[in-house]
Amino acid sequence: MAKRCDICGKGAMTGNRIIRKGLPKKKGGIGLHTTGITRRRFLPNLQKIRVNFDGSIRSRLVCSSCLKSGKVVKV
């Protein structure tokens, strides 16, 4: 099952998880140092709901932003 909204097409995005070590300069240290960077995924907030889709009631994966904006009406 794809992690993608059936209405707007919003899907997973990628980014970095950055690990920093040390005391910040404003707190009296010598600054933060990056010790590791790994890739991560940001997944959309998908809800499986029943919607009226093209005149028939179907179960769809819809992101919460589509629900809040009113693009989809629950049955």
Contact indicator for 22, 16 with CB cutoff of 8 Å = no
Rounded-to-integer distance, Cα 18 and Cα 11, Å: 22
Domain segments of the chain as ranges: 13-69
Residue 73 pLDDT exceeds 90: no
Rounded-to-integer distance, Cα 48 and Cα 1, Å: 12
Domain at 13-69, CATH from 3.20.20.80, 3.40.50.720, 2.20.150.30, 2.40.30.30: 2.20.150.30
- What is the pLDDT at residue 1? 64
Q: Which long-range contacts (CB under 8 A, 24 or more apart) does 54-60 make?
A: 60/6, 60/7
The helix/strand/coil state of 68 is helix
Share of the chain above pLDDT 70, in %: 99
* Mean pLDDT within 2-12: 94
